[in-house]
Amino acid sequence: MYHHPQPFSAAEDHTSPQLGDVVLFRFPLNDKSAEPGVPKRRPCLVLNTLSNGDDRFVEIAYGTSADTRANRGYEVIVKHPTSREEAGLSKPTRFVGARRIIVHVNHSGFEGQADGPEIIGKLDAPLLERLNAVRARIQAEAEIVAHDREERRAELVRWEHEARGFR
């Protein structure tokens, strides 16, 4: 089973962003050729809400209107005009689950006109189904990686025992 590096649990705070909400966040840029300075606020999709004690966190996916082959994988694509309107988007947007981060709800990347995360919309029912499919795939692949890591660890322990003459 996949475990976050820190112990998180599902957040029960309904004043913070929820699964399927679209928020504005200054998503970090990985492109070294991009202009220096503060990244622009862009729509991001809330993939998960988490808590650690009283602290609230959200896992968000990068949103882009660019229709390129870059950053493909685990996508939720909002194209239909009514879906875009409900999500608060002015143009078709790809939310790329392969580019996701976990941030505190008071992270400075949310700063803008609102105090805390600015929720601009929410996915409609069909897109929520797609989001849940993406989340299930991410979780399944994380569990496979964790299982493989555990098998490698057990094999290394076995090799160490054999090297010392134990069987």
- Domain positions in the chain: 9-163
The pLDDT score that the predictor gives to residue 3 is 46
d(CA 91, CA 94): 10
Assigned token pair, 75: 């996508």
pLDDT 10s per residue in the chain (167 long)?
A: 344 555 544 555 556 799 999 999 988 755 555 566 677 889 999 999 999 998 999 999 999 998 877 767 789 999 999 999 999 999 999 999 888 999 999 888 887 766 668 899 999 999 999 999 999 998 999 899 999 999 999 999 988 888 887 76
Q: What fold characterizes domain 9-163?
A: SH3 type barrels. (2.30.30)
The pLDDT score that the predictor gives to residue 162 is 85
Could you tell me the CA-to-CA distances from 119 to 74, 88, 116, 126 in Å, in that order?
Answer: 22, 9, 9, 19
The pLDDT score that the predictor gives to residue 71 is 66
The pLDDT score that the predictor gives to residue 81 is 95
d(CA 76, CA 159): 44
The pLDDT score that the predictor gives to residue 117 is 83
- Work out whether strand 41-52 and strand 9-10 pair parallel, antiparallel, or are unpaired: antiparallel
